[in-house]
Structure 1
């Protein structure tokens, strides 16, 4: 499992780990976007929360993760959970299903770097590839012209997530 704040480098590290070890990369963000795009029942439920600016409830996210972990490729190759669990409830759900990682990686990045990385991040809606205007710009003008900012890639959203993480850390003690 790998966890860290938005823009901490989870996606980049996951790519490297997957290439080296041949694991199945399971990102809750990717799962949510795929379910919403496919118009599935679970995707439609998730979309309601996302459109209202709320976090998708643990039960919905856990159901998607459990379904993905049960597929043959994840069972055969092993898996890398990206950004899950994010709450005590999600962690408890994994424990109830007796799903335990062999390794747990936490990426700890200073707040100001997270904000800088996040606000410069852009999504190519055609390929799904993530770019950064300063650190990893697209190769050509055609790609650059179609890039979009994801709704979560704002300074306000990142500061909110950082605050939630800080409060969550305090609650553990």
Structure 2
């Protein structure tokens, strides 16, 4: 889907000559098109996916879509899909893929998504989920996979500490807390090495099957770099997709002066 915007063009130099009436050239406004991006992002726990999602949304104005958020909203609002999901949740079993896909389809059909594009966060998580949304024609322009070695993931998780008074999160190595508050910091119950390794192993067991559906649009991102460096790599990948989808947008964005982005007949 492409949005349209008029670009106002200044008068061409030399359009009039002294002593002669010279007709102005026919000028029509160029239509500047902005490609609607469809992006999926995946990464193990503590890979930095949440931080990068926030940066992507801020820069590219995509609609952030988390299946967990959709599920909670649908159940809260008592939709048909939400009622189906609640029945499974009340019985303590996983919500079937077809119910989740129904929710995702409904969310992607809303106006804000159609106008701005979407960032699907952490979904699909299994081959069955990937196959289900493929059948529905839900496919990204770009699949971002943030890669971080398992040992570093564990280190990131085990070193996290929560300040219960402010809600701030610190890391004993990478973001040390002020000495005066160390005594009140807490380690969340799921931030242990044992539980982290279970979550990482689950991610590793499933991600290979998922990316098999998206090898032609996948970009691996080195998540061991700084947050800003990781985002630079992600931005480069997204900008490349924009260029392919809408070369005019890329040219107008990079032109040194607005005058260069004009069309005359």
User: Could you state the TM-score of these two structures normalised by the residue count of structure 1?
Assistant: 0.70
Is 1:106 the equivalent of 2:145? yes
Please tell me the root mean square deviation across aligned C-alpha atoms, in Å: 3.9
1:26 shift after superposition: 0.6
Give, in whole Å, the separation in 2 of the partners of 1:36 and 1:123. Answer: 29
Is 1:5 the equivalent of 2:47? no
Q: Secondary structure at the match of 2:205?
A: helix
Q: Secondary structure at the match of 1:104?
A: strand
Deviates more, 1:4-13 or 1:17-26: 4-13
Tell whether the 8 Å contact from 2:88 to 2:95 is kept in structure 1 after alignment: yes
Q: Aligned runs of 1:122-161 on 2, under 5 Å?
A: 131-134=169-172, 149=188, 153-161=191-199
1:3 shift after superposition: 0.4
Give, in whole Å, the separation in 2 of the partners of 1:137 and 1:61. Answer: 39
The residue aligned with 2:105 is 66
Is 1:44 the equivalent of 2:86? yes
Task: Provide the aligned length of Structure 1 versus Structure 2.
Answer: 163
Q: Aligned runs of 1:13-28 on 2, under 5 Å?
A: 13-28=52-67
Give, in whole Å, the separation in 1 of the partners of 2:70 and 2:168. Answer: 16
Give, in whole Å, the separation in 2 of the partners of 1:41 and 1:62. Answer: 14
Give, in whole Å, the separation in 2 of the partners of 1:138 and 1:38. Answer: 40
Q: CA 1:148–1:161 in 2, change beyond 3 Å: closer, same or farther?
A: closer
Q: CA 1:67–1:27 in 2, change beyond 3 Å: closer, same or farther?
A: same
1:45 shift after superposition: 3.6
Q: CA 1:72–1:15 in 2, change beyond 3 Å: closer, same or farther?
A: same
Give, in whole Å, the separation in 1 of the partners of 2:176 and 2:160. Answer: 9
Q: CA 1:170–1:38 in 2, change beyond 3 Å: closer, same or farther?
A: closer
User: Could you state the TM-score of these two structures normalised by the residue count of structure 2?
Assistant: 0.49
Structure 1: where are the runs of 5+ without partners? none
